[in-house]
Structure 1
Amino acid sequence: MKTTAPATCPYHSVETSDEKRQPFPARVPRTLKDLPGPDGLPLLGNMLQLDLKHLQLVLERWAETYGSLYKFQIAHKPVIAVSDTDLINEVLKKRPAAYRRLASIEPVLKEMGINGVFSAEGEQWIRQRRTAMQALNTAHLRTFFPTLVKVTERLKHRWEHATRRGEQINAQDDLMRYTIDVTSNLAFGYDVNTLEDKGDDIQRHLEKVFPMINKRINAPFPYWHFIKFPEDRALDEALLAIRKALAEFIAHSQARLAAYPELATHPTNFLEAMLAARVSGEADVTDEEIFGNVLTMLIGGEDSTAATMSWMLHFLTEYPEVQERIQHEVDETLGEGRMLQDIRDAERLTYLEAVSFETMRLKSVFPILFLGTNKDVELGGVHIPEGTAIFLLTRKCGMQESEFASADHFRPERWLAGGGCPVSGHNPRAFVPFGAGPRFCPGRNLALLEMKSAIAMLCRNFSVTKSPDAKPVEEHFGFLMAPKHLSVVFAPRAVSAIGTQSEPLSACPVAVSAP
């Protein structure tokens, strides 16, 4: 006698032992046509709906309407948008075999001369990443820390000078100068010193690069091959100036290697390691790869960390109680000091670290990762052909109530042990500001150390408030997301030797703003 499941369950068949079990029918994956998404126009698709300066907001709004896996069109090309935590982690862990950076990124960056570890794929990426990891490992950062202290002290002096004179300064600009000086010292052993206005030209040129990367990778065709607008010509001029400046870095390192042959076996920075590997024959590194990696390290280490610290300034003015708690922690940690002098003290700044994590969750400077498929894949039960663009909405991933309790609220305590967040309301897998999987960002530890050094110095020596005439701060997207209309006021703090705040100094507060 044969017993079967109800007719409403066609995939199950229960049989007696003397009958063979029938196989489950093969599950047929959905196709791109089955995915929901916004309606578009013939030929143009959804191009007219994509505001590139607020791209993250457009895509996140669509995710609210169409779900965590949807499609849209850029001209005739389909794009898949993903904000589901599990699917994002699946994609990141299957790089670089199944997924790669968006195919349009590599030629754009290569034309600009930024063909380094960021855009490299396959064997080229494996070879270049090994050198990058050596330059950014914990042991190297410990050796480098005294230089970071020196650069942080320059930033402190710059702000003290401005407050004494009552001068208006630009917070985001200064933080970019800070990160340029840190990165150039660490990666190239070359002190650009933009904080003391000795290399401010390169900072001015670098800020033109990211917005144009964003514009070109999202363009339906390479229009700049046929006609160049003023911003394209400005980019060309900036890249020429940057190439000239970086040639000095490379020449400086080549001279050091010639003068000190022992550096070939014990390089002190990223650039020396690349040059030494080429000299020894260990790696076949071309001049263009060296230049591309120098520029990649400089750009990657500048804008992203500076933008995150700018967002932290925004939150410190929005939540004075958070600023006071950081000040208390910094005062207790530093004692008589005015800034971090011992790298071991950075580990004690747990609340400051929690504030940086919460800032990156709500204001991730890379709210979108632009990837594509290396081969036919199945993602979320959907068959996706080789060469399809996939945009990972990483910020949206970490702002869902299912992943973080009170997801829309700024709550640094969620990152502390015993912070009051239930386990079901805190999913670290939904927090991917540095990526995940094999291509996890090698600069994570450096970025966190820079943030702790700069913000600890700030909170130890100054109080920061919102400017009375400040406009609402907006998100501005240009391949990375930075604050627009950030305008705050610095006032000096007087702190006793044991960390108890005394009367404010007599110097006038100074407005610190950013465009």
Structure 2
Amino acid sequence: MDQYYTAIISALVMCIIWCIKISLNPARGTPPLPPGPRGLPILGYLPFLGNNLLHQFADLAQRYGPIYKLYLGNRLCVVINSPTLVKEVVRDQDSIFANRDANIAALAASYGGKDISFSPLNSDWRTMRKILVREVLSNNSLQGSYNLRKEEVRKAINRVYKDAGKPVHFGELSFRTELNVIMNLLWGGIVEGEECERVGEKVREVITKLVDLLGKPNIADFFPVLARFDIQGVKKEMKGYVQSMERIYDDVIARCRKMSSGEIKREGKKDFLQVLLELQEKEDPEMPISLRQIKAILMDVVGGGTDTSATTIEWVMTDLLNNPKAMEKVQKELWEVVGLNNIVEESHTPKLKYLDAVVKETMRLHPPVPLLVPRSPNKTSVIGGYTVPKGTRVFINVGWIQRDPSIWDSPSEFKPERFLHDNEKCDFSGNNFHYLPFGSGRRICPGLPLAEKMLMHLLASLLHSFEWKLPDGETVNMSGTFGIVLRKSTTLLAIPSPRLSEPNLYA
């Protein structure tokens, strides 16, 4: 306990000395720090943060403009709120701002930043991203895995059909479907059938808790001197989740090695895990990769490829149930493009213009990660005429930018039509800085091609195959809860009734 109090007193003294030094010795000729709200000594703005961080950040954007600062403890944070300044960060100075500002939970989950999401911008990061894109996310790889995705979508439709008339938990259904696709891409030829279902259940138990913990406020992130005490137990809890996932990975890796050695025979294309392990064993100097990096990549793909996609599907269905006219237009389009005597294929989705607009509008109103993953400049820079010191935590406030009334007409209204008539706003690739649900620059979400295909195919299939209504007496709850991911405050339940002409279309 004495150590605990000593650490706190030391932190307070250092912060006071630092504040006095800065105030008495400002750098001459250096642009000022951005404007921002006053906080308290030592604590900064922390005591004034409420439960709804997104609304609070939006209010501050309206007050202070395109860029502002706030101190959270002794961490300087800068929030970017305009497309022009976003471009400066993610395009003009991307090499400076491409590093992540990983909190303690993220470092624990990524083996100390050994993954793609939280690794610094270095050769390891380039190698890992290159392998993932080449083996899983390239056009050829996505075409090769189409039948796998189609099979999992059909399984989901079949499950809903068998329980027609009973409420469907959309978050759970979509998470399960996305996870099955991801696991098949990673190690589908290694763990199959009932064993795959068992592994999937274990993963589902852990991964949502792990993602939520990434966004949990942790006093040690605001006062790094306290990190070694782990006062809230965040690091310990995250390590527990990582160990649970590691037990799954170790088992699958052991099976994969047996296949590679010939102890277990298999046919067909190599799974992603096999490719990773072969690269590790070859010790190729051009593509070096360690076992720890392999596990970190698996964590990225499983976590990033399931939770945010499932959350987005739940929000899309929520918006449609809350807007019956939009639901009617979507189903009319599906009837015209697919027909009620046929099932949805991925080849249909480019023709589903209105559904595409619905998905884009939902992601405008409810971006999966509204502040994106924080960045940190590797050297002091100037953004919008203001100094952003090295090591600052930089947030890109996508949640505000995509509802900014100076950019969007009726920004709080659900209006998919805005994406039918304004092509400049119809791009997920991060080139339009007023619309960035997947981020932009070097750190744009690498899983974008797969996520877009799965979102459209699964949503189109669910909306084409069934009519949907809320349980009797229920109303649509549009409130969200923000950690690192913007989830619905309450789970969405909806009752399906078959819509297609023949029962065999649900097989």
TM-score above 0.5, yes or no: yes
Equivalent runs, 1:123-142 vs 2, <5 Å: 123-134=123-134, 135-142=136-143
Q: SS where residue 373 of structure 1 aligns?
A: coil
- Matching residue of 2:282: 280
1:111 equivalent to 2:74? Answer: no
- Matching residue of 1:177: 176
Q: Which moved more, 1:380-389 or 1:425-434?
A: 425-434
Q: CA–CA distance in 2 between the matches of 1:227 and 1:289?
A: 25
**8 Å contact 2:66–2:85 — kept in the other structure?**
no
- The normalised TM-score by structure 1 is 0.81
Q: Which moved more, 1:353-362 or 1:154-163?
A: 154-163
- Provide the identity percentage: 22
- Matching residue of 1:473: 478
The one of 352, 359, 363 aligned to 1:356: 359
TM-aligned CA distance change 1:379 to 1:333, over 3 Å: same
Q: SS where residue 489 of structure 1 aligns?
A: strand
TM-aligned CA distance change 1:258 to 1:402, over 3 Å: farther
- Matching residue of 2:246: 243
| Equivalent AA in structure 1 for residue 130 of structure 2 | R
Aligned pair count reads: 459
Q: How far is the alpha carbon of 1:118 from its aligned partner?
A: 0.9
- Matching residue of 2:321: 317
- Matching residue of 1:489: 494
The one of 71, 96, 99 aligned to 1:98: 96
- Matching residue of 2:152: 151
Tell me, which stretches of 5 or more residues in structure 2 are unaligned? 1-27, 503-507
**8 Å contact 2:100–2:119 — kept in the other structure?**
no
1:301 equivalent to 2:311? Answer: no
Q: Name the structure with the higher helix share.
A: 2
TM-aligned CA distance change 1:334 to 1:324, over 3 Å: same
Q: SS where residue 410 of structure 1 aligns?
A: coil
| Equivalent AA in structure 1 for residue 126 of structure 2 | I
Q: SS where residue 305 of structure 1 aligns?
A: helix
Q: CA–CA distance in 2 between the matches of 1:145 and 1:249?
A: 23
**8 Å contact 1:181–1:191 — kept in the other structure?**
no
Cα deviation 1:333-359 (Å, max 9, x = unaligned): 323555433x32222222211111111
TM-aligned CA distance change 1:132 to 1:260, over 3 Å: farther
| Equivalent AA in structure 1 for residue 128 of structure 2 | Q
TM-aligned CA distance change 1:260 to 1:277, over 3 Å: farther
Q: How far is the alpha carbon of 1:89 from its aligned partner?
A: 2.1
- Matching residue of 2:9: none
TM-aligned CA distance change 1:111 to 1:57, over 3 Å: same
Q: How far is the alpha carbon of 1:94 from its aligned partner?
A: 4.9
TM-aligned CA distance change 1:87 to 1:74, over 3 Å: same
Tell me, which stretches of 5 or more residues in structure 1 are unaligned? 1-26, 498-515
Q: CA–CA distance in 1 between the matches of 2:425 and 2:363?
A: 20
Equivalent runs, 1:187-202 vs 2, <5 Å: 187-189=186-188, 199-202=200-203
| Equivalent AA in structure 1 for residue 276 of structure 2 | M
TM-aligned CA distance change 1:423 to 1:310, over 3 Å: closer
Q: How far is the alpha carbon of 1:192 from its aligned partner?
A: 7.2
Q: How far is the alpha carbon of 1:30 from its aligned partner?
A: 2.8
**8 Å contact 2:322–2:476 — kept in the other structure?**
no
Q: How far is the alpha carbon of 1:179 from its aligned partner?
A: 1.3
Cα deviation 1:273-322 (Å, max 9, x = unaligned): 32232233322211110000001110000111111111101101111111
- Matching residue of 2:15: none
TM-aligned CA distance change 1:169 to 1:292, over 3 Å: same
**8 Å contact 1:208–1:235 — kept in the other structure?**
no
Equivalent runs, 1:373-452 vs 2, <5 Å: 373-416=377-420, 419=421, 421=422, 428-452=432-456
| Equivalent AA in structure 2 for residue 109 of structure 1 | A
Larger radius of gyration: 1
Q: How far is the alpha carbon of 1:258 from its aligned partner?
A: 3.6
RMSD between superposed Cα atoms in Å: 3.1
